[in-house]
Amino acid sequence: MTALPANDRELVLTRLIDAPREKLYRCWTEPALLKQWFAPRPYETPVVDVNVRPGGSNLIVMRGPDGTDMPNRGVYLDVVPNERLVFTDAFTEAWQPSAKPFMTVVLTFEKQGDKTLYTARVRHWTVEDRDAHEKMGFHVGWGICTDQLAALAATL
């Protein structure tokens, strides 16, 4: 069930999560839920402003243990409730280009009985961006966040 990268600019995380896809989708689209799992602890997510629709913008701020804020801005490209979310940091809002596009994320939520095959494909603009993301701890960080996501979805 492990998905492979489509090319040398993609990182992939796949998990079979013991929760229906509707709950995982809610955790990705409802600000109060997103705040609870989005950053790997001890980081936190104090600000979540999302307009979940194609063309809608998002602002998610992660805060480090030292109080440093890391704002992440983006735009949703595709939204299929309970099935798929696609967003990018290539735009900040209202189709305003970002200073340095880094990635596009394609999330899929596939029904597997009463579980969900959750796949996060992170497509980078360059191989160097992919390498940088991997060195930042993509697999560990996104893995921790996915564990937090699964734990929260199990309580809904």
CA distance 87 to 85: 7
Left, alpha or beta for 94 (phi > 0: left; psi -120 to 50: alpha)? left
CA distance 125 to 54: 21
Domain ranges of the chain: 11-153
Residues in Cβ contact with 99 at an 8 Å cutoff, skipping those fewer than 6 apart: none
CA distance 25 to 27: 5
Q: Is the pLDDT of residue 14 over 70?
A: yes
Q: Which CATH number fits domain 11-153: 3.30.530.20, 3.40.640.10, 3.40.50.2300, 3.40.50.300?
A: 3.30.530.20
pLDDT in tens, 88-125: 999 998 889 999 999 999 999 999 999 999 999 999 99
Q: pLDDT-based confidence at 1, cuts 50/70/90?
A: low
**Which of 85-92's residues contact partners 24+ apart within 8 Å by CB, and which partners?**
85/25, 85/28, 85/29, 85/52, 87/58, 90/125, 91/57, 92/57
- Mean pLDDT score across all residues of the chain: 95
| C-alpha separations of 39 from 11, 43, 51, 94, 132 in Å | 18, 6, 19, 25, 18
